Structures are given as structure tokens and as C-alpha cells.
Structure 1
Amino acid sequence: MKKMKNWLLTGLFFMIVSTVFSQGKVTGTVTDGTGSLPGANVEIKGSSAATSTDFDGKFTLNATTSVGEIVISYLGYQSQTVKFSVSNGSTTNLGTIVLESNSNELSEIVVKSTVVDIAKDRKTPVAVSTIKAAEIQEKLGTQEFPEILRNTPSVYVTKSGGGFGDSRINIRGFNQNNIAVMINGMPVNDMENGSVYWSNWAGLSDVTSAMQVQRGLGSSKLATPSVGGTINIVTRSSDKKEGGSFSSGFGNARNFKIQGSYNTGKLENGLSASVLLSQTMGDGYVNGTPFEGSNYFVALGYSTKNNKHDFQLTVTGAPQWHNQRSTVSTIATYQKYGSLDEPNIRYNADAGYLNGEMYNIRKNYYHKPIASVNWDYNINETTKLSTVLYASMGRGAGASATGGIRGKTYNDLVAFRTADGLIDYDKIYAYNSGQPVFINGFTGPQTRAKVGGVYQNTFSTGSNAPGGASTGTSGISQTSSINSHDWFGGVINLNKKLTNTLTLDFGLDARTYTGYHFTVVNDLLGADEFYDNSVASLKPAGRHITATYPTDVQWNVFDKKSYEKISFNSTGKVRWYGAFTQLEYSKDNLTAFIQGAVSQQGFKREDDFVYLPTDPLSSTDYENILGGNVKGGANYNINEKNNVYANAGYYSRQPFFNSVYPNNKSTVNPNLTNEKIIGFEAGYGFRSRFFNATVNLYNTTWNDRYLKGNALPTSATIPANSTYTEYVGLNEVHSGIEFEGYSNITEKLKLTGMFSYGIWEYKGNATVNAYWQADNTPVPGYSATTVYMDKVKVGDAAQLTASLGASYEVLTRVTVDANYNFNDNLYAGISPINFASPDNKGSLKLPSYGLMDAGFSYKMLTGKNKDKSVNFRLNVNNVLDRIYIAESRTNTFADDFISGTSGPTYQSSGQVYKGIATSNQVYFGFGRTWNFSLRYDF
């Protein structure tokens, strides 16, 4: 009996051991119903066993129990729990697991912080599109980061001058100063002017997990400048699965990039880390625009075992320099250095040679690292506190030219041009150093005169310009306008689930910004010194400067270098205090919210150049302005396939810094008023296994828009560049319809498409006032001048866009894809002062154009478990090498007279290109470009 008992105990023990330590495998494939989901997180509930899906969406897990549940989650999808059972030593295949949702949702399982306002599909009532990391990594190639959004409805992206990172984006007819850009919940628009310089963020393409574009007022709880929309960028986190990658790519114009990354995964002690480094360089597609950029990303994380606290420290930066094309040439100039039918679209009026090497006086160099600490605290099952503290120190400048020779600037169309249109910097250097040179357009050799025994450069225009600027005593220098800053901020949000249906958010947003603005001399180009007479306390003697500073990237942003400054030196300070709240109702098929925010911005200006130290205007008090917004909306899911939504909102937005203190002076603008934005939107969504689509209707009214204009035309009483203009009562209305769809025709063939049609016009007439630059006083006779803007088209973006794309898996993991993007109703940028006559011709319509892009991908699985891969990718953009005008700075019509009010027109004299007068200043888009990349994921 005792033996029998021992055998029973022994058998029971072995049964327990075999159950606990069984080594069965669980496999499966994760899709979204339309295609595989590589990189989805798969873990056994209640254990440390976890993995992620491969490039085909497949996974294999070693189970230590015979029964259990696996939890599958993926950025942009609802998580799913699946039960399994497996025998010891065997394998259980769960088949295909479909995650519900589409690319328009970012699940909070991955986006843990409630500070990050991510729109959720069939729940958040806004128009939204999401670009996944895989698509960014695969298709971006050598394009600019914003260009990945060009196939999103109502989005228009151009490369502008064509330098590295100089692209710009427009959403629903609003430029990027009026688009909120958020990174992990942090606002990154410049606090002085709302600008976003993509060259400072070139590395984002390497570290972005997903990018979501919310068109319209968006779902952000902060009082952000989201007139046209919000771009939410979610970067990779430290607790990604263990592994890494190495990649290398190259393309035309000697474009080269190398990158490496590694993630530790979440360790047993709760710590995690992620590191990424990359380097890119190239000659640039446009002549004379070489560049070099780096990118670093470091993330450290810690989670407590009970998951109550999660900390993420992130530091990222993208130091870079790139030469630019800042001079906007006329179509005739591009034709001159190309042909009438094929203008030289690579032509750069700023490029040339100096001492036998390519030289460009226009250069941008900047380093803007940003560090953030995210803390998410799960207080209890119904309460969560999310906090982000961040800091950014930007250091850098844009280099350009100052001064003139014989009254000619460096980029004069004739004076210093070689036969192929390049700038003869050798000639400028020779003249600056006193050598006799022949200047195009002048008779005989020209020799420079000394001032005080030296060759002295100075300014050629403005109050500092001596009479010699147009004679023989002035030269040309390279100078940089420094635009550095220190920026600190924080956002805190308390998320409280009041009931099963009501959730309340309340938070605070605080920021402080100090911008440093001054000019330094980089290169005297052969001269001996620079004369500056800008400092009020040193007038009339001025200063004789010999110090020069290189145009190098400053890696150490904590070093506040000492400079000898010229031209201007001012410090702009902005303080921001805000509070926001949101109440959300969610029950069954209905989700509704109401949201409100209030903020106070304070603007302060310091200037020790224009003003004496004893002058109160040398350091102003803060000019505090109150603003805010209120938004609300609702989404109703009719059934599993159909949903409808609507939203409305009102913004009272404070003016930018240069509106408060116009024209670099410290006198507060007496006409300050908040801009008012009213938005309405409605939409319909359809979701099925084979077809997803969204349709949106919108109307946005923008009243009391502030706009600073150009100088008045030169006359007998108005010297050149001595005035500036401001517009009062400038209103716009932007309305339109948008469609976005996705379909998997077969398991291997997938289609995407979008269409948007906008009517973006000025509403009513406005008035313009003119002021003297010297003291901001009104110019007599130029106050409240009417400009006839009613029904004039808003320029700088295509009001009709469409695209159609297809992807086909030819063989297993061998895919070809193509996309055609069409743009029409594209109008030139305008200056309202040109509409002083009631019978004006409106905005100049540019030719429509379409671009074809194509790609080829091959993924080769490697490793014992096929959990590693080598990925090949070839991108070809503008396959058909289409020549097209991407933007125009001027509004000259083909039937305009070439000069005066009579005589030949541009049309009658044959000076037109595709129906456009060749005197218009334009930027052409890029021709055919290509890039190839090879990546190893392990």
C-alpha cells in the first residue's frame, strides 16, 4: 500500500512538472484583414514569454504551460486575446489572427501617455490619416520627411528651394506656421513665429513609430496653432522588443546614408534602453547644395513590476549643415541655362566657385536636440497621471550675403555671372582685396578704393549704408543671422474615469522660450575689415571688426559662445501658461467630447543695439495676451461597418512675436488683435474586411489674420526698402471635401486612393497701412488703403489633389508598387498690396501636374528560426521625369504688358512657358530621383 502511495505521489509530481515545464510551441499569423502586420507584439498572458511577428506577420512562442492565453498588440490596432492549448513537445498553430481597426488608430496600449492626443478610429470625431513606421522606412528614401504625407488628402508638400530639409508642408491651404507639430505630446512649433524647420528634424524618419495627420482643429487638448491641422509624431520607445538593425542606402547625387540601432527589450528588473545612430550626406539634387547630417536617439525606460509607474527618458537630435537655393529665379533664367522647352531645373543662382571649389554663400547650419522625461502613473484603475517635461537648446544660423559692389548684390543677374550662370566668387574675392576686375555691365576694369587705409566691407542697404555702397568703397561679405534659443516646458494631464461612460481630463501646459537673434561675420571674402554702425551707444564712430566665425555645426549646445555682433542684436522672450480640460462620453456606439483650453502668452523684447541702455525700450515689460479654444464633437457607429461623425470648434489665437513687436523694434503694435478661427466638419466612414473608406466635409473661417507685407514701391518721396506694410481685416474661408480609401482586391493586390477638392478664398476686402522702418510711424497718405481681396484664391498649395496607388506581391516577399499623384488648382503665392485695384486679375493659376513613383521590395528571412531578415528596397520618384512648377512667388499673367500700360504682352512676344509668363519667379520640383537601401534586422 505504501509503494502504491509513493507511485501515486511520484506520478502526480511528474504530471505537475510536465505541465509547468512543457515546451510546446504556439504559432500563428497576425494580419489586419488586408495584409500582414510585421512587428506586432505577442506575449503569453501572465508570463515573461514574448516575441514579435516577422515580416510576414508570423510568430512562434515557446509555451511553458499546456493552456493559456496570448495577447497580441500593434500600434494602430485593438489588442486581442486568444486562448491556446498545446501538448508537451508539440506545436499548435492558431492560424490567422485578424486585429480590428485600420491605419487611422493608434492604440493607447502602445501610446501609454494621455499627454499624446491620438485619434482613434470610429471613436475620435476628426479627419485623420496615419502613416506607419514600415511605410516611412520603406518609401521615404531620399525624400524629405514631410513628403511621405503627399498622398494624404488636402496635403501639399514641396521641396521649396531644394536644399536638405528645406521642404514645406501645407494642409487645407494653411502653411506650416499654422499647423501644430507634436512629438510625443510636445509642441515643437517655434514659439516666436510658429515655424517648423524640417532640417532640424531630419532624423525623425529614423525613429518614428507612426505619424498621424489630424486635419482641421484636431484632437489635441493643448491650445496649439492647429488652424489647418496637427501632425502627431510618435517616436520609438525604449521598451521595444530586443533586437536591432543595420542599414545602408545610396541614391543619385551621391546620396549616402548609414544607420544602426539596438533595443535591449524590457529586462526583468524593469529597465530598457534603445539607441540609434545614423549619418547621411550627398551633393544635393540642386546644383551647389551639398549637405551632411547626423542623427542620434537614446531612450531609457523603467517600469515598476506592478506597472503603476512608467518612466521614459528620451534624447534626440539631428545636427546638420546644408547649402541652399534661396534666390528664386525667373522661368526665363531657368530657360537661359537650359532650353525653352526644358528649363534647367537644377539651376541655383546662389552657387558658384571659389579657389577652384564649389562655393555657396547661402548655407544653413543648426543643431536642435530635444530631451524629454515622460512619467505615467497609474494611480488606480480609474485614475492616471501623465507628465512630460522637455527641454530644447537650438544653436545655429542661416548664412547669406551682406554688402554690394558698385551697387550690385552678389546674386545680380549680370554683374558676377559666368557664362553658365554661376556666381564668380573669385571675382568678388579679387575685387574685395583691391585687385582690378572686369564686372559685367561696366566699362573697363573696376578697382576698389580703401577707407582709412584698409579695404572695408559694410552694408549695402538700410540705415548703415554709406554712400560708397554704390561707388567703389564697399564690398561683399558672408554673414550669418543667428537664431538660437533655449526652450523649456512641461505638460501634465490627469485622466479620471468618472463612471463607466464618462472620462474627465484636466491638465496644465507651461513653456518658456528665449530666442537669441544677432548677426556675425563669417567671411570677408578678401577684405580687411567690416564696418558696423548699428550700436546706438557707439554712434557715430561705429566699430571696425576683423573677427570672423566659421559656419560649422555647434555640437555642444551648452556652450554660449561669445560673438562680436553686427547689424542687430535682440532677445525675444515668450512665456506661455495654459490649462485645458476634456469631458468624454462613451457608451455602446456613441462617443462624444467637449474640450476647452485657455492660455496666456507674454512677449518681451530686449535690444541693446537700437536702443541706449538708459532707454526703457532696451528691455520691455511682458506684453500679455489671453487666448484659448473650445471644441466638441461626436462619433456614432451605425453598425460594424458604418460610422458618422461631426465636430466644431472656435479658436482665439494670440498673434506671433513679430506681430507684437513689428519690424525689429520694441514698440508694441497698437493694432494687436487675436486671430479668430471657426471650424466645422462632418464625416462618414466605412469599414469592411476588403474595403475601408472615409469621406470628410469641412469649413474653416480665419478672421483677423495678421500679415506683414513688403515695402511700398520706390518713389520720389519713398526711398527703397524704407517702409513696410501691415494688413487689417484680412479674412479667409477654406472649405472642401476629402476622400480616402483602401482595398485589398486579392490577398496579393492592394489599392489605395485619395481625392480632395478645396475652395480656399479670401473673404471680403481688407485694408493696408504703411509704416516707416526707422521708427514704425505711419507713412502719410498710406493709411487704411483698401485692397480688394474678396474671392481671391489662396495661393501656395494645390486645391485639388488626388492619388492612386497599387501594391502587388509578385512572389513570396517580392513586392512591386506604384503611385500616381495629381495636383491641380495650384495658385501662386500673393502679396495683397498687388490687389489695390478692384479690377485685379486675382491669383495666378499654375499648370497642373502629376507624378508617378514606383518601388521594388524583397525580404529575405534568415536565422535558425527565420526571425531575422535582410530587406532590399528600390525607390524611384517622378519615374516619368516630369518637369513641373511646384510654387511661384509672383503673379504675372501672360496677357500682362511687359512694361508700362501698353505695348507687347508676354503672350504676344512669346515669353510664356506652359501658358505662364516667363518673368515669374518660381521653384521647379525635382526630376527623376532614385535610391536603394539594404537593411538587416535581427
Structure 2
Amino acid sequence: MTIALAMLLMPVLTKAQFSISGLVSEKSNQALPGASIRLKDKSSGTTTDSQGKYQFTNLKAGNYTLVVSFIGYQTVEKNLDLNTDQVLNFSLSPSAFLADEVIVRATRANEKSATTYRNLTKEEIQQNNFGQDLPFILNNTPGVVVTSDAGAGVGYTGIRIRGSDASRINVTINGIPYNDSESQGIFWVNMPDFASSIENVQIQRGVGTSTNGAGAFGGSLNIQTLAPSEKAYAELNNTFGSFNTLKNTFKVGTGLIDNKWSFDGRLSRVKSDGYIDRAASALKSYFLSGAYHGKNELLRLNLFSGTEKTYQAWSGIPESRLKGDVQGMKDYAANEGLKPEELEHLLNSGNRTYNPFTYKDQTDNYTQNHYQAIYAKQFNEQFSFNGALHYTDGKGYFEEFKLRDKYEKYKLPGVIVDGQLKDRTDLVRRRWLDNNFYGLTYAFNYQPQSDLSFTLGGAYNEYRGKHFGQVIWSRFPMGLSNTDHYYDGKGNKNDFNTYLKVTYSPIDQLSLFADLQYRRVSYDISGLDKNVEPINFSNDYNFFNPKVGATYFLNQQSNIYTSFSVANKEPNRDDFTSLKKGLPSPKPERLNNVEAGYRFNDKTFNVGVNVYGMFYKDQLIFTGEVNEYADAYRQNVDKSYRIGIELDGSYVISSKFAVNANAAFSRNKIKNYVDYIANTEEDESTNIIATNYSNPDISFSPAAVVSGELVYKPFKGFAAALQSKYISKQYMDNTQSESKMLKAYWVNNARLGYDFKIKGIKNINLGLLVNNILNKKYESNGYTYSYAYKGDVTKQNFYFTQAGTNFLLSLNLKF
């Protein structure tokens, strides 16, 4: 880690001697500002200025290949032997078809944007894709912390950016919102092996650009699905590894048919027993895409689906079990009311693999289908449009066994059995979610002159969700059939936004932007909640989210930028349904985000340094309070903030060695925080314990996240990488208590890859990923709660352990 960080900060060691400069234009000699020029197989790249000019400096003598591309034009490659300063002009021809990049252009940042971002290419995604969920493929990007309920990256996984959880990270797929409308979270388990259908990903940290869907309070993930291959292809990708992990992927594509049509498909399955006891996953997915590519228009239809059956591993491991504290486990069982058989199971389980659930069908089951129709049109050189219609339907349930559950929880009377009143029964219940999400997105792009451009975009989406519960079996009669609903609730949400972006370059070196977004959200909740209590909330929100910024180019290799952005966010479903009776509804959150940075990009060395401040008003956080049913809920805190510095870079040491590294250091504070501990005695309303804290750390916000990768390529086709990541300590609540903490951890992985060919097969790739090569015992996530009884406070901590040394071996064939 230390070596990687030192490499990140290493200055350019040598001065090169020559330069390449020139002009990029179209056939009519009209300059093309914003065209991309990169040195093939190198880390260096740039874009043309407002006059279509570009320049590379400090280049050593040698052979180079320049790749020039611009949306709507054919990509050009030019080889040259550099031994003196050269002027090289390019004249691009209009493409035979419109490129797929236009789909995400409206919501993406680029070199001129005053936005903090990182792009991941298809190649980078593929070399790290061994079947784990997408968060684990993004793990080595700045400020990212990932976790896995099952402990090995398959099943339920999570991601945080700058300490913000998934409900504060905006995710779009081809510009279409993916976050769940009600929880605002991201459930990657519903998209198994989706990484195999991704062309590229842009990760924006902070508020970022105006985009569709929920507001970004920590970052955005902008995903573009596969672009067409020019030639027909077929792929068979297979992975096998620890915990009986298995991935099989079949991909096929027609290539371009008559330079107009393309069809692509993928079929995947992923299975794993998981590191945690019984944390098995059985996942299936497919992706189908067909497109018409016209000279000035693009029509693409996408259909993709995921089906998951995942054994529940979301309860974590009690601290006493993790430490092997027998008396502590007995005390825990007594305090939590565990039945004798549950205590026996706790005592006889593994310290790091304990799962409280033993019922064979204690599973989560869900299927989600996505339909996208995307259209883009280039009317002329100045004016273009892209838009999409989308529809998502999802339906599923989680099933659970409840031992001697009370009838009163279901608002049912007890029953007489053999002359005795039974007020409890063993039962199996299912809690269902049946939802639909549909709408449209659009963006008009207008560039009247090379130094001025406008984008008018937005979206309108509707969500319709049904929540209901069933008791499918009970030991004693309950008066319910298998299909009866013991609760029914609805959530209806309408989300409209529109934005106008203006970019202007008064001089070649300076790019200014303003981005003004209006968003209106209407959210209604009705019916009965999971506790069989009536709910009725109707909420309308009107948000104005302005953004302004500037980028100044010091030279062709470097620029500085700064921006100020505002984001607003509505509460989620649980903020209303779990709220204690009699309390006012939660208020929306507001974020003022300041970013400033420096970027340098050369042939062998590139680095970005960014400082940020994220200042919240009415941020919603857990304060320790629970409602009548022991459900925790969030409350608004007046002021809180995150400030930090991020570094991200790479250095090509030689033709065989390269280093990639990033680091994020931050301070994350709540200015005034009140923590509540509920009293479990009958009259608890007058006995809640409240404690004031001044400037405690925000939970799950490590002060340091450092990542490094050393890449070694000793010969053609072979690459080895050593990946290292350090996460500093994190607190599981907002009291900054050392007794409620995730310890710091440092984990190292190794990746090997070898590409070769044999007759009849275009490419064979053998890959090996060894995770946690030093067998570090660590916990990446957890939760805590406390309660009081007769003046005594009991604290309970739970942890999500991650696997020790484990491996994934892949064989990928391309035809």
C-alpha cells in the first residue's frame, strides 16, 4: 500500500524530447472541437480545443499509433515513427452509422467537465470479471468500500462511495434510472453477471452532472451496455472457485449486418455456496439487444432479466459468537429471548460463519425484467436528440420460519387446541413485493458554434409497488389460507425532472458550465404495513438543483477545475413506515457540494488530485430510536459534512511494469448529534435515554481508503497484478464509540491472466483471481443497537465477516 501511494505521488522522472500537434476536422475542413486523440496502448490522451487543435508534448523517440475519434465520424488510426517534432492533421469522414455513445452523452462528464469522475473501459471490467457482483469489480476506484453478506462477493453485495451507502448513489443504465424508487437502494443480486454486458462505466463522485432518477448524495454510476461488434462473434466464459462458486456465460453477436443491423445476446448463471453457513446463491440472467444503425440515427431495443434465489445471510454474527465468548453468547440469548434450540445452534456454530437461520427455505426470491427502447438522431452538425422509453417489472418474496410467533403480531386472536389457549405458533410466512416502474428520458443537444453548447434533458417516471404478506404454513390454525394476505400496502411514486446545461468557452483555455435542474416528486403510501398497522402518507416535493463550474487548461496535458452543486433528496419508504407514532414526517435532505481539482495526463504518468466539501442540511441518519415494533428509523440532523482529498493516478514504469493507485482521506462529522436508547420497560415513553455528542464521526465513513495495483507483463499475452486495499476503522453508529467499531483492515489480492490462440479459436484467456492472499480476518460491515431495562444498558453488535484466502479460476473462449 505504501509503495503504491508513493508511486501515485511520484513526479515525472524524465523529460521527453518531441511533440505531436495538429488539427482535427471533417472533410469540409470544418474544425471538430472535442474530438478524442489517444496514443494506442498508452495511458495518454487528450481532446481538441475549440479550434480543433491538439498537442502532445514531452514524448520520447519511438513508434506511436494515434487513434482519433469523434461521435458520428469514423475512427482513424495513424502510425508514425517519432524522431522529431511533427504536425499531423486528421480529416474525419462521417460514420456509416451513429455511434452508441450518443445514448449516454447527455449525462456523462468529459475532460472539460468540472466534475470528479473515473471511467472504466470494457477491457478493465472484463479482466476483473470472475462472476462477482459489479461492486467488487469497482472496488479499486477512489473512495469505494464494498461488502458481501455471504462473504465472497456473490449474492447480496453493497457499495459505498465517500461513505455514502447505495441509497445515495444514483445508478443509470443507458441513462435510465435503476435505483429502487421506494428504498432508493441498489440490488445488484437482481442483475447477476451484468458486468458481462457492459461497454463502460463512469463513476462520478459527489453530486456530479444532472442525471435521471434519485439525487446523488455520494456519487453516480453511469453504465452503458454493450456497443455492437463489427464482426460476428461467440464467447463461452466459465469460472470455478472456492465455496463451489460457478459461473457460466454464453455470449453471441451477429456483428454489423449490411452496416445497419446488429443483434447481441448473453445467457448466464452464477452459483455459490457462500463463505457464511448456508449463504447459497442461485442466480440466472440474460441480455438481448437489437439495433438499427442509420447514418444519422440509432434505434436500440434492450431486454434483460435477472432471477435470484439467495439464502438469507443478512443478520450478521453477534459479537460474542465472533469472539467465541460462551458466557457472552448465553447472555445474548437471554437478553434477546432466544429459544433453547436457537441457543444450541449459536453455541455450536463457527465463529466467523454463523448464520442464525436453519430453515431450509429461508430464502429471498425475486425476478426483475427490464425493457428499453432507445432512439438517437443527429439532425445536423449542430442539433441532435436521444431519448428512451423503459419498463421494469419485478416480483418476489422472502420466506422465513418463525418459531413460536405471537398471534397478536398478525392482529389475530389465539386459538383453542385440545382445550388450551394457544397464543403462539410456529409458522412460515412470505413477504412480497410486486412492482412496476416505467417512463421516458430525453435529451436535446444543440451546439450553435464550437465554443457554445446546450443540452435540454429530463425524464418522467412512474412507480407502482404492492407490498403484502402471506402465512403459508402454521403449526396451529390461524384463520388464514395460504393465499390470504395478512397485510396489504401500496407505494405510488411519480418523478419528473428537467434540466438545462450550458457550456461556454470564452477563450480556448477556459470552459464554463451551468447546469440547472428542476425535479418534482409525488409519493403516496397507503394500506397496512408489515406490522399490520395502517399507513397513509401523501408527499409532494419540489427541488431546484443548480450546478456551476469552470475548467482551465494549463496546457494540453493538465487542467484545473472547480464546481459548486446543490442536490436535494426525498426520504425513503422506511423513513415513513417505521416512524414512531406522533412524530412529524421526515424532511427532505439538502446537500451543497464543492469540488476543486487538478488533472495531469502524459504518456507514462497521469494523476488527478481533488479536494471536496459536502455540506448537508437535514441529513437523515439513524439515531438509535426505534418504534413500537423495534424497527429503527432515521431522523433529520441539522448540519453535517464530509470534507476530503482524493488522489488517483497511474505510472508506466517500463514496458513490463506499471502502477495504479488511488487514495481518499476525509473527515466526516455531525455537528450536533443526539443519540437515543430505548427503554424496554412497559412505560418506555418517559424513560428514553438521550445523550448529546459534539462533532462525532458519521457512521461507516472511514477516514482513509487507499488502493494500489502493481501490474507486471513479462511477455506478450501474460499479465500479473497485485492489488492492495486499506480501509481505516469505521464506526457502526454515530457515537464514535470504540466499542461499536469495524476495525481497520488491509487486504491483498492477486490476479493472473494469459491470452493465447489456437487454430479455430480466436482467443483463449486463462485467468486466476486469488482474494485475500494473506488470509486476513476482517469484517467489512455491521450494525449495532442498544436498549435499557431498569437502568441497565445492553449493547449488541453484529458483524459481516469476509472470506479468508479464496480463489476463482476462469477459462474464456472467443470464437
Tell me the TM-score normalised to structure 2 length.
0.80
Which residue in 1 is equivalent to 2:593? 679
What CA deviation, in whole Å up to 9, does each residue of 1:599-630 have, x standing for no partner?
11111233278999xx9x88x69532211311
- CA–CA distance in structure 2, aligned partners of residues 365 and 828 of structure 1: 29
Counterpart AA for 1:280: V
Check whether the contact 1:679–1:701 (CA below 8 A) recurs between aligned residues.
Answer: yes
1:584 corresponds, among 483, 503, 506, to: 503
Matched to 1:499, the amino acid is Q
Report deviation, 1:685.
0.9
Alignment of 1:191-206 (within 5 A): 191-206=181-196
Task: Summarize the Cα distance change of 1:897–1:528 in structure 2 as closer, same or farther, 3 Å threshold.
Answer: closer
Aligned to 1:689: 603
Contact 2:578 2:632 in 1 (8 A): no
In structure 2, which of residues 202, 205, 214 is the aligned counterpart of residue 212 of structure 1? 202
Counterparts in 2 of 1:334 and 1:83: CA distance versus 1, 3 Å: closer
How far does the alpha carbon of each residue in 1:394-450 deviate from its partner, in whole angstroms, 9 at most, with x for none? 111222233x43xxx7xxxxxxxxxxxxxxxxxxxxxxxxxxxxxxxxxxxxxxxxx
Task: Please list, as runs of the form range in 1=range in 2, the aligned pairs for 1:680-829 lying within 5 A after superposition.
Answer: 680-707=594-621, 721=629, 727-765=635-673, 781=686, 787-829=691-733
Residue 282 in 1 paired to residue 272 in 2?
yes
Confirm or deny: 8 A CA contact 1:496 1:505 kept in the other structure.
yes
1:156 matched to which residue of 2? 145
Alignment check: 8 A CA contact 1:635 1:646 kept: yes
Deviation by residue 1:564-602 (Cα, 9 ceiling, x = unmatched): 212x21011001122111111145222221101111111
Q: Which has the higher strand share?
A: 2
Change (3 A) 1:244 1:650: same
* Cα separation, 2, equivalents of 1:826 and 1:650: 27
- Partner AA of 2:706 in structure 1: A
**Given the superposition, is the C-alpha separation of residues 183 and 201 from structure 1 closer, same or farther in structure 2, using an over 3 Å criterion?**
same
CA 1:728–1:138 in 2, change beyond 3 Å: closer, same or farther?
closer
Q: 1:564 aligns with which of 484, 493, 503?
A: 484
What is the CA-CA distance between 1:134 and the residue it aligns to? 2.2
Q: Which residue of 2 aligns with 1:450?
A: none
Q: What are the within-5 Å matches in structure 2 for residues 356-435 of structure 1?
A: 359-402=359-402, 404-405=403-404
1:225, CA displacement in angstroms?
1.8
User: Post-superposition shift, 1:114?
Assistant: 5.0
Take 2:569 and 2:77, find their aligned partners in 1: how far apart are those partners? 48
- Residue 174 of structure 2 aligns with an amino acid whose one-letter code is N
Residue aligned with 2:550, SS: strand
Displacement after TM superposition at 1:328 (Å): 2.4
1:699-756 C-alpha deviation (Å, 9 max, x unpaired) = 101111234665559xxxxxx7378766343432111111111111011111111111
Flag the 1:161–1:875 CA change in 2: closer, same or farther, 3 A. closer
SS at 2:102 equivalent = coil
Residue 146 (structure 1) aligned with residue 118 (structure 2): no
Deviates more, 1:151-160 or 1:364-373: 151-160
Cα separation, 1, equivalents of 2:725 and 2:602: 25
Alpha-carbon offset, residue 782 of structure 1: 7.9
Deviations 1:501-536 (A, max 9, x none): 111111231000001101123444xx254x2xxxxx
User: Which residue matches 1:593?
Assistant: 513
| 1:34-79 deviation digits (Å, cap 9, x = unpaired) | 499xxxxxxxxxxxxxxxxxxxx999xxxxxxxxxx976599x998
1:58–1:462 CA distance, 2 compared to 1 (3 A): farther
Q: 2:223 aligns with which of 221, 230, 233?
A: 233
SS in 2 for 1:119: coil
1:128 aligns with 2:117: yes
Relative to structure 1, the CA distance from residue 724 to residue 462 in structure 2 (aligned partners, 3 Å threshold; closer, same or farther) is farther
Map of 1:92 onto structure 2: none
Closer, same or farther: CA 863–71 of 1 in aligned 2, 3 Å: farther
Give me the whole-angstrom Cα distance separating, in 2, the residues matched to 1:247 and 1:662. 44
- CA shift in 2, pair 1:630/1:203, >3 Å: same
Q: Distance in 2 between matches of 1:876 and 1:338?
A: 34
**Which of 850, 863, 869 pairs up with 2:746?**
850
CA distance in 2, matches of 1:679, 1:742: 27
Match of 2:441 in 1: 491
Q: Deviations over 1:167-186 (max 9, x none)?
A: 11111111110110111101
C-alpha displacement of 1:129: 1.5
1:65-464 equivalences in 2 (<5 Å) = 81-82=76-77, 110-113=100-103, 116-121=106-111, 123-162=112-151, 164-222=154-212, 224-238=214-228, 241-268=231-258, 270-304=260-294, 307-336=295-324, 344=350, 346-352=352-358, 359-402=359-402, 404-405=403-404, 459=407, 461=409, 464=412
Counterpart for residue 773 of structure 2:
879
Distance 1:333 1:154, change over 3 A: same
Counterpart contact for 2:554–2:560, Cα < 8 Å: yes
Distance of 1:288 and 1:99 partners within structure 2: 62
Q: Which amino acid aligns with 1:486?
A: N
CA distance in 1, matches of 2:468, 2:655: 59
1:928 to 779, 796, 805: 805
Structure 2 unpaired stretches of 5+: 1-37, 46-62, 81-87, 91-97, 329-348
Max Rg structure? 1
- How far is 1:346 from its partner? 4.5
Residues 551-700 of structure 1 mapped to structure 2, 5 A cutoff: 563-566=483-486, 568-586=487-505, 588-607=508-527, 622-660=538-576, 663=579, 670-700=584-614
Q: Distance in 2 between matches of 1:932 and 1:111?
A: 33
| Structure 1 CA distance for aligned equivalents of residues 675 and 326 of structure 2 | 42
| 2:592 alignment partner, SS class | strand
Alpha-carbon distance, 1:137 to partner? 2.1
Change (3 A) 1:217 1:259: same
Cα distance between partner residues in 1 of 2:196 and 2:70 = 19
C-alpha RMSD of matched pairs (Å)? 4.1
Q: 1:727 to 1:84 in 2, by over 3 A?
A: closer
Q: Percent identity among equivalent residues?
A: 20
Paired residue for 2:42?
33
Q: Deviations over 1:147-203 (max 9, x none)?
A: 122221211111135484311111111111011011110111111121111101223
Cα contact 1:324–1:362 (8 A) shared by 2: yes
Q: 1:873 to 1:728 in 2, by over 3 A?
A: closer
Does structure 1 residue 520 correspond to structure 2 residue 470? yes
CA distance in 2, matches of 1:83, 1:738: 36
Q: SS in structure 2 opposite 1:564?
A: coil
Offset from partner CA, 1:859-910 (integer Å, 9 cap, x none): 112348xx81111001100011110122231279xxx9999779xxx9xxxx
Q: Work out whether 1:545 is the aligned partner of 2:495.
A: no
3-state SS of 1:364 partner: strand
- Residues 361 and 816 (structure 1 numbering): CA distance in 2 closer, same or farther, change over 3 Å? same
Distance 1:251 1:119, change over 3 A: same
Q: 1:570 to 1:770 in 2, by over 3 A?
A: farther
Matched length: 722
Distance 1:311 1:887, change over 3 A: same
Q: Could you tell me whether the CA contact under 8 Å between 1:730 and 1:766 is conserved in 2?
A: no
Q: Is residue 511 from structure 1 mapped to residue 461 from structure 2 by the alignment?
A: yes
Task: Assess if the C-alpha contact under 8 Å between 1:239 and 1:273 holds in 2.
Answer: no
Separation in 1 of the partners of 2:658 and 2:491?
51
- CA change 1:924–1:301 in 2 (3 A) is same
Q: Cα distance 1:696–1:78, how it changes in 2: closer, same or farther (>3 A)?
A: farther
Q: Quick one: structure 1 residues 167 and 228, their matched pair in 2 at CA, closer, same or farther if it must change by over 3 Å? A: same
CA distance in 1, matches of 2:551, 2:42: 23
Offset of residue 663 of structure 1: 4.7
| Partner SS state of residue 890, structure 1 | strand
